[in-house]
């Protein structure tokens, strides 16, 4: 079983706060040269957008993020022969425009096409496979804080436990593998009001969120929504150019 890493485009990072690359899937668009994203704060505004440039294999190699006409960040990406991220290079950051490029290097070990070890260069975060049984893979962090455990079934992250902070996250998916729901349980429990006030800023957020998508005729994400309670918020739209 090949380990298919998770997420739904470079621009959708809501799935996990893992320190490394293990649980991020890079969707490949070999006929696409650029992907343009427009991002909203849930009320239809924001003015944030991005453009991702892809190589001939359909992998994102450069991504620029903007607020209206102002460049906020520029990132470059280099991959290994397995299409896993090898280098993430921050070439511009508006918060520190004069700094030298920041390079994160990832290291991997494989067994039967499955990542069994992963290390991220700057943070030294390590994730190792501790159990492989049937359709279930269990990973655990080493030498880093916070300490976490991850469970994948059929290549999809279904469970994440943060031992250091008393936080457990569950994930549910649509039949096509897109994320449907993310639910966080905390110990000790906190009220939903406290969660919104203390953890979710810059847009709508909740410890229990559902996700919905609209697709183009090629099955690519066209519009991404976040659903909280009975309210649906438009979060992002994407356009693909050949």
Average pLDDT over residues 13-20: 33
Model confidence pLDDT, tens digit, residues 81-92:
988 889 999 999
Cα dist from 59 to 35, 56, 116, 188, whole Å = 11, 8, 23, 41
Average pLDDT over residues 16-41: 70
Given this model, what pLDDT does residue 17 score? 31
* 53, 60 contact by CB (below 8 A): yes
Mean residue pLDDT of the chain comes to: 82
Query: Angle at the Cα of 59 (from 57 to 62), degrees rounded to 5?
Result: 130
Regarding beta strands 221-228 and 231-241, do their DSSP bridges make them parallel or antiparallel, or are they unpaired? antiparallel
The dihedrals phi and psi of 146, each to the nearest 5 degrees, come to -80, 160
Nearest to 142, CA basis, from 173, 109, 174: 109
Banded pLDDT at 201 (limits 50, 70, 90): low
Coil, helix or strand at residue 196:
helix
* 125, 144 contact by CB (below 8 A): yes
Residues ≥6 apart with Cβ < 8 Å to 75: 62, 63, 64, 88, 89, 90, 91
For the chain, percent of residues with pLDDT exceeding 70: 81
């Amino acid at each position: 079983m090949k380990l298919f890493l998770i997420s739904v485009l470079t621009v959708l990072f809501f799935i996990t706060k893992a320190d490394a690359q293990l649980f991020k899937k890079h969707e490949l668009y070999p006929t696409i040269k650029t992907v343009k994203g427009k991002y909203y704060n849930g009320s239809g505004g924001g003015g944030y957008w991005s453009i991702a440039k892809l190589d001939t294999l359909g992998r994102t190699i450069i991504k620029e993020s903007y607020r209206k006409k102002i460049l906020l960040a520029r990132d470059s990406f280099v991959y290994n022969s397995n299409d896993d991220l090898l280098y993430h290079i921050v070439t511009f950051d508006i918060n520190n425009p004069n700094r030298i490029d920041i390079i994160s290097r990832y290291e991997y070990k494989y067994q039967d096409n499955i990542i069994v070890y992963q290390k991220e260069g700057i943070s030294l975060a390590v994730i190792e496979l501790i159990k492989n049984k049937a359709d279930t893979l269990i990973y655990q962090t080493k030498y880093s804080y916070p300490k976490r455990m991850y469970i994948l079934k059929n290549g999809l992250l279904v469970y994440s436990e943060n031992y250091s902070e008393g936080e457990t996250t569950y994930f549910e998916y649509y039949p096509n593998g897109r994320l449907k729901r993310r639910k966080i349980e905390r110990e000790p429990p906190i009220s939903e009001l406290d969660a919104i006030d203390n953890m979710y800023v810059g847009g709508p957020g909740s410890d229990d969120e559902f996700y919905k998508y609209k697709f183009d005729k090629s099955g690519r994400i066209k519009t991404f929504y976040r659903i909280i309670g009975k309210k649906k918020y438009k979060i992002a739209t994407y356009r693909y150019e050949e």
